[in-house]
């Protein structure tokens, strides 16, 4: 299992690691970012997480606790994808299966040919968000209504003909995991991934017991600065109990940096946990983290070459530094989150890095990219 130690034990250049930490501390002190956490790992060892900033947006708020739990937004996607890959390993699903074979109500013009592969590679033509996304959230709609809405949309293009980032594809994928496994997607991930990896503070949607007790666990979640145009006092935004409980398969995962590091280490170790447990097959990790667009002949060549996707994982995009930075190798994979988060894994460096913040970074991820560069340069 993953152990946590000093940056020297991890094999980092201590001066460069401290320079990255100073950069993070300075941004938080100047309120560029309200709060931020860092962790870097190599092999079976990672740095002890470093925490900066404050718990709430109020400048007089208490410092960020060293047990902080972050809403990581779209880093949720590759973890939900891993749940689907477990079903594929077990012979219960294939990448070529059509979505309507599992969700009959999904059948319809433009959707009939969409497969599991299309959902995982953002080539389905489904939208990022539904046209009525805000009204649904204002009404505190359950996940089933997001899935039902996606079952009625007209895709933007024929499946496999282009690439378009699609959160609603992962709403559907979460429903597929639930229908095949017989339990909710959140329960399946807890049973099959979070439990075995001893990720005790990771959940797809905060359980009810996180809101109870004298010091409820939900109080460890730092407040996120709302993006422009979102009412900071809304009862449906990122900081609301509604969103924290919803468990959106496209962006509702809550975790500590240490727990997320356990997942990253498992991926870096080709699916192996400790010395005996193979959580994911080596072949599964290899398939999930290679460019799946290469064999999709109808995807435009420039997208296949310059914006590759694995199965739920964003791969290295040449000349595009957003979030991952500028220094990582061609085999790098990971994901980012709209709340200001990024996870990247570079097999050539035998390393991973996690940056979790409460400052939305879209569309360019300037602070995330700069910090990624600083962290990558510290890896010896």
- Has residue 197 got a pLDDT over 80? yes
**Which fold, 3-71+200-377?**
Beta-lactamase (3.40.710)
- Has residue 363 got a pLDDT over 90? no
What is the DSSP code string of 40-84? EEETTEEEPPEEEEBSSSSTTSPBPPTT--EE-GGGHHHHHHHHH
Q: How confident is the model at residue 79 (pLDDT cuts 50, 70, 90)?
A: very high
CATH 3.40.710.10 residue spans of the chain: 3-71+200-377, 77-188
Mean residue pLDDT across the chain: 96
- How far from chain centre, in Å, is Cα 10? 24
Asked if 342 and 335 count as a contact pair (C-beta separation under 8 A), the reply is yes
Residue 147 CB partners (closer than 8 Å, separation 6+)? 103, 171, 172, 174, 175
State if pTM tops 0.95.
Answer: yes
Q: In the numeric block, which tokens belong to residue 235?
A: 């009862």
pLDDT in tens, 38-55: 999 998 999 999 999 999
Residue at token pair 């975790």: 255
**Which fold, 77-188?**
Beta-lactamase (3.40.710)
Residue at token pair 């001893």: 198
Asked if 57 and 34 count as a contact pair (C-beta separation under 8 A), the reply is yes
Cis peptide upstream of residue 196 (ω within 30 degrees of 0): no
Asked if 268 and 345 count as a contact pair (C-beta separation under 8 A), the reply is yes
Cα 24 to Cα 13: distance, rounded to the nearest angstrom? 17
Element (H, E) at 18: helix 14-29
């Amino acid at each position: 299992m993953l152990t946590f130690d000093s940056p020297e034990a991890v094999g980092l250049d201590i001066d460069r690691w401290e320079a990255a930490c100073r950069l993070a501390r300075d941004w938080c002190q100047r309120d560029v970012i309200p709060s931020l956490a860092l962790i870097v790992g190599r092999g079976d060892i990672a740095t002890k997480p470093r925490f900066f900033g404050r718990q709430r947006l109020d400048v007089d708020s208490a410092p960020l606790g060293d047990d902080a739990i972050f809403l990581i937004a779209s880093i949720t996607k590759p973890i939900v994808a891993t749940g689907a890959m477990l079903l594929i390993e077990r012979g219960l699903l294939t990448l070529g299966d059509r979505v309507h074979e599992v969700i009959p109500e999904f059948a319809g013009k433009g959707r009939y040919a969409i497969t599991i592969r299309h959902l995982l590679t953002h080539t389905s033509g489904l939208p990022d968000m539904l046209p009525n996304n805000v009204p649904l959230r204002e009404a505190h709609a359950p996940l089933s209504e997001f899935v039902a809405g996606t079952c009625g949309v007209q895709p933007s293009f024929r499946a496999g003909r282009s690439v378009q980032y699609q959160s609603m594809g992962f709403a559907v994928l979460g429903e597929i995991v639930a229908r095949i496994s017989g339990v909710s997607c959140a329960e399946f991930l807890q049973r099959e991934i979070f439990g075995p990896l001893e990720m005790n503070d990771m959940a797809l949607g905060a359980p009810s017991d996180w809101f109870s007790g004298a010091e409820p666990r939900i109080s460890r979640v730092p407040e996120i600065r709302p993006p422009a145009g979102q009412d900071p006092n809304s009862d449906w935004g990122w900081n609301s109990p509604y969103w924290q409980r919803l468990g959106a398969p496209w962006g509702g995962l809550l975790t500590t940096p240490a727990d997320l590091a356990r997942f990253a280490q498992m991926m870096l170790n080709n699916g192996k946990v400790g010395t005996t447990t193979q959580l994911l097959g080596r072949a599964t990790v290899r398939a999930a983290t290679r460019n799946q667009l290469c064999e999709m002949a109808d995807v435009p060549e420039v997208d296949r070459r310059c914006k590759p996707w694995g199965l739920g994982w964003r791969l290295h995009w040449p000349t595009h530094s957003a979030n991952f930075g500028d220094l990582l190798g061609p085999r790098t994979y990971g994901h980012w989150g709209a709340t200001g988060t990024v996870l990247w894994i570079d097999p050539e460096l035998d390393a991973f890095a996690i940056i979790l913040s409460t400052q939305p970074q879209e569309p360019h991820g300037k602070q995330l990219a700069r910090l990624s560069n600083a962290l990558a340069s510290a890896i010896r």
